[in-house]
Every structure is written in structure tokens, then in C-alpha cells.
């Protein structure tokens, strides 16, 4: 056996401390679920209004075994990530263009300022008129809502790049085009990734809201179908699935971002 030849005391201690830490982080969840179960079973609350944890758990297991649930989940995920990708594909170049060119900034700056305070969900009824009920409306709505975080964070990220970096690169003869790719974009990567994390959150909200307003498929629609048919344990299970999915997506974004930012200063990491 090729076990590690030496283990320092710190290493032998590391595992228990790590395990203790996650145990300590998990305990509040257990307490929360126990309180919920106790409240639901106590008879103080009508079980229609608050299905017990065990009932929701059963519903969740049942949903986990049905392929149509995964289809709905995948449809919603596809819409939100599709819109997010479009938002990034348009927003990052636009933000970068605005940061490096006064002309582009002069044209799009006022438009960005004017639409910044618009609740992007307000576009959904309009898009329903234009594109009808379906994924197109949903994806375009997500695209619009994720566009601004990408534009704003890329713009400010590039503006925040220290002059020293651009001056040094210029002094060493870097042409304008390479300056953007080699200096400005990498140096503002942490800002763009912060924008991405924000946009990811928006993308779920808009995709689900659009499905709740008008759709035939997706998890947002499914929740309302369960709610309207009185299958409240299934409704709670669907909500739980969405919350868990959003959490995993957010954590994955943070982990991947920090991997991409390995070379950068520690204070630029995402939390």
C-alpha cells in the first residue's frame, strides 16, 4: 500500500474539523425541517396549508421517479440558460465596446440608463404579443433581463482596469485589438463573472415568472397546475426542487469562476 508516508498533525486534524464544520452547518437545516414537521403534525395548522415534511418528501421521491418532471425541469433550465447565453453573447461585447469607444458609449449609454429601471418582467406581456406562448418568449425575456448585468459589469470592469496595466502593455507595443483580448478582458474577468452570477439569478426568476404568466410547459407552469388541482405536497416538492437547483447552479458558478480566477488577486474571488 502506498499510503502517504507522513501525515502532519494538522492534516490528521483537518478532516474532523472540516466534518465538524459541515455538521454544524447542516444542523440548522435538520432543526428547520423538524420544526416544520412538528408544526404540520401538531394539528395546529390545517394540513392543506402546510403539508408535512414527510408528505413533501414522498412527493419529491415520486417526482424524482417520473421522467416528465425532469422534462419540465430541463425545459425551464434550457430556457433560462439559453437566454443567459444570449444575454452574455450580446452584453459582454456591448459593455466592452462601450468601455473602449466613446462613440458606442454615447449611443448605448443613454439607452442603458433609460432601460435600467425597467422591471424586465414587464416585457413578458409584450413578448407574448410578438412571439406567442412558448420558449421563444421565455428565452428573449431572459435575454433582456440578463443583458444589463453583463453590460454594466463588463463596462465597469474594464473601466476599473489599472491604467498601469494598459500603459505597460502599450509601452511594450501591444496593438489596440490585442489590448482588449490580452489585458482588458482578463483583468476585468472577475467583474464579468460577478455579473454572470447576478444574471444567473435573474435568469431563473424571469424564466419561472414567464412560465407562470403564460406557458404550457416548464416547472413554473407545473407548480401552478399542482396548486390549482390542490396537490399541495407536490407543489411544495416542486418549489423545493427549484430552490435546490438554483442553489447548486449558484455554487457551481462560484466554483467555476474561482477556478478561472486562480491567477487573480484573492480579493477578486467570488464569495
Partner 1 sequence: MRTLHIIGASLWRGITAAYPLILLAIVWEAVARLGYVRPVFLPPLSAVFAQFWPLATGGDLVQPLLVSLYRAAAGLALAIVLGVAIGFLMARMRVVRWLLDPLIAFSFPSPKIAFLPIFILWFGIDHLAKIALVAFTCVFPFIVAAYAGATTVPTHQLWAARAMGTSNLGLLRRVVLPASLPSLMSGVRVGVPYALVTAFTAEMVAGGGGLGGEMVLAQRYFETPTVFVYLLIMLATGYVIDLGVLALRRRILRWHEG
Q: Which is nearer to partner 1, 125 or 175 (CB)?
A: 125
Q: How far is CA 85 from the centre of its chain?
A: 12
CB 125 within 8 Å of CB 213 = yes
Nearer to partner 1, 123 or 184 (CB): 123
DSSP 207-238: HHHHHHHS-SSSHHHHHHHHHHTT-HHHHHHH
The residue among 75 and 213 lying less far from partner 1, judged by its C-beta, is 213
Angstrom distance (rounded) from CA 49 to CA 221: 20
When the beta carbons of 28 and 162 are compared against partner 1, the nearer one is 28
What residue has cell string 459582454?
92
The CA distances from residue 156 to 116, 150, 152, in Å, are 15, 10, 6
Q: Smallest gap, in angstroms, from Cβ of residue 128 to partner 1? A: 6
- DSSP 3-state assignment of 44? coil
Taking every pair of Cα atoms in the chain, the longest distance, rounded to a whole number of angstroms, is: 76
Alpha-carbon gap, residue 189 to 103, rounded angstroms: 24
| Shortest distance in whole angstroms from residue 85 CB to partner 1 | 18
**Cβ distance 218 to 72 under 8 Å?**
yes
Nearest approach, Cβ of residue 173 and partner 1 (Å):
36
Q: Under the rule (CB under 8 A), what is the footprint of partner 1?
A: 24-26, 28-29, 31-32, 49, 106-108, 110-111, 114-115, 117-126, 128-130, 201, 204-205, 208-209, 212-213, 219-220, 223-224, 226-227, 232, 235-236, 239, 242-243, 246-247, 249-250
State the minimum distance, in angstroms, from the CB of residue 125 to partner 1: 4
Please, which residue, 23 or 181, has the CB nearer to partner 1? 23
CB of 4 to partner 1, least distance (A): 32
Amino acid at each position: 500500500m502506498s499510503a502517504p508516508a507522513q501525515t502532519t498533525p494538522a492534516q490528521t486534524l483537518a478532516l474532523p474539523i472540516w466534518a465538524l464544520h459541515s455538521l454544524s452547518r447542516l444542523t440548522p437545516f435538520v432543526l428547520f425541517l423538524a420544526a416544520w414537521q412538528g408544526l404540520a403534525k401538531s394539528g395546529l395548522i390545517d394540513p392543506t396549508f402546510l403539508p408535512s415534511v414527510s408528505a413533501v418528501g414522498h412527493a419529491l421521491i415520486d417526482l424524482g421517479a417520473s421522467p416528465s418532471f425532469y422534462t419540465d425541469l430541463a425545459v425551464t433550465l434550457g430556457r433560462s440558460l439559453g437566454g443567459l447565453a444570449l444575454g452574455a453573447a450580446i452584453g459582454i461585447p456591448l459593455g466592452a465596446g462601450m468601455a473602449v469607444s466613446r462613440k458606442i458609449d454615447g449611443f448605448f449609454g443613454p439607452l442603458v440608463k433609460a432601460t435600467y429601471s425597467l422591471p424586465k418582467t414587464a416585457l413578458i406581456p409584450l413578448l407574448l404579443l410578438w412571439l406567442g406562448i412558448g420558449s421563444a418568449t421565455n428565452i428573449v425575456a431572459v435575454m433582456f433581463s440578463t443583458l444589463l448585468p453583463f453590460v454594466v459589469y463588463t463596462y465597469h470592469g474594464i473601466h476599473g482596469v489599472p491604467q498601469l496595466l494598459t500603459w505597460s502593455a502599450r509601452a511594450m507595443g501591444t496593438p489596440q485589438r490585442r489590448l482588449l483580448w490580452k489585458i482588458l478582458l482578463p483583468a476585468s474577468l472577475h467583474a464579468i463573472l460577478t455579473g454572470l452570477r447576478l444574471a444567473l439569478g435573474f435568469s431563473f426568476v424571469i424564466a419561472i415568472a414567464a412560465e407562470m404568466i403564460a406557458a404550457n410547459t416548464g416547472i413554473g407552469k407545473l407548480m401552478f397546475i399542482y396548486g390549482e388541482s390542490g396537490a399541495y405536497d407536490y407543489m411544495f416538492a416542486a418549489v423545493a426542487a427549484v430552490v435546490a437547483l438554483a442553489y447548486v447552479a449558484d455554487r457551481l458558478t462560484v466554483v467555476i469562476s474561482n477556478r478561472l480566477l486562480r491567477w487573480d488577486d484573492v480579493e477578486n474571488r467570488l464569495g
